Structure 1
Amino acid sequence: MKGEKRLFGEPWIEEVLGGPPWLRRPLPKVGCPREAPVARMSTQSTHPPKPEAPRLPPGIPNGQRRHTLPASEFRCLTPEDAVSAFEIEREAFISVLGVCPLYLDEIRHFLTLCPELSLGWFEEGCLVAFIIGSLWDKERLMQESLTMHKPGGHIAHLHVLAVHCAFRQQGRGPILLWRYLHHLGSQPAVRRAVLMCEDVLVPFYERFGFHAVGPCAVTVGSLTFTELHCSLQGHAFLRRNSGC
């Protein structure tokens, strides 16, 4: 919705949390389902064609849906996904605020150095939502944390969460963030997640275990932010059956 977009996270707050209801529904599985080529019919015979059952590769039962792209997939991003990510970001942020959390060269920079700290949601092979992060090695965020990746750090700085305009208000942002925190929790070197957001979004992130630690030292133009931290060690979400 125009006019309500914020620098970090989705430009809307959906009332879907507080004992997240989507966790009681099966989530799309990560990874690619089996693939099978579309059956081909010969057209070289001079006789009228006869109905012929499709020829499927061994192990693919007759009647099983055949496709070449997974209907829904979660995976880390690569530098090849940078343009798609920036297009989503540009529509969500630049058109409203005139600034963007990450620009194209910065997206490529982080997806080259630390792709494992990103997560994308793909539908039919197309990126529809994503999070990009990097490692930080100080207690609080600083201006330089916007563009730097510290390989020895133990803090995951979440730079941006964005959802394609055609897929907003469907609960995708919360689901993606929940999966991303679970993904970070599986990495022993990462002990905490941090982010900065405008005050209106603080309650949204608090529902995921983030807590405000005060005003953020980082500013972007005239925009100011609140800094939030979330411990990943022994966090409750790692013990829940979220389907992640």
Structure 2
Amino acid sequence: MLESNATDDLLHNSFAQSFMLGSREELLKDPEFLAHLKKFNVTVDSARRKFAEEQSNAYIILDKTKNSVNKQIKENIYPIWKWVEAMKNKDNAIKLQKIGNEYLSYLDGDPDFYSQRKARYGLMISGMMNKSDQLKPLAVKLQDLIYDNLSQYISTHSTQNELSREEKMDRAWYRYMFAAINFISAGNTVNKADQIKSLKLASEFSPDAIDNTVKSAYFYDMFFLFDKEKYSFEEDY
């Protein structure tokens, strides 16, 4: 059986990418990636078909694993399933509300938002709900729960240099996610004072020297949340 961290990485930093066709379309416009395709005589159309095939296979795997009798597998796949379900129903307020409430209950049941990257998927689901006036209150409730969890972790854990690699990974992820949620919050409010406060926190908790030694801790979250490289929020403040 895979170790917990290995399972998390495999599912949430690899498998989950299969459902990000939007980001892959952007990749197909990237000059460096296009040059890479040309080097190996791969056309854009064939690359697009390959991405679509990978996503189709991923849906098959997701459908099988979300109902697995193996408790560990079922628990690990749950946040991906809810995120994918939310994307499918992003224009259906009734179904999206149900998904949002289910995810809220899910987070309420476990304070560890790092395992299964719970906070990441929660922010993406919240972002979809926030586009609907009807669902904004639920989106705020979900985002506030995540915010409080990240904030509590940061306030109760050491920031010293003498940390193991695993501790550095945890620290870097929580700090990046806290910076990210503040950056997102700034974009969701029209109150200038609140915007400045959120952007200030996003800047302060941007990856520091310690975090930059373990960039892999938050590398994938960066692309899931922003569809691009965003290693820092300092320039936004």
TM-score with structure 2 setting the length: 0.28
Name the structure where strand makes up a greater proportion of residues: 1
Question: Relative contact order, CA 8 A, sep 6+: which one is greater?
Answer: 1
Name the structure where helix makes up a greater proportion of residues: 2
Larger Rg: 1
TM-score with structure 1 setting the length: 0.27
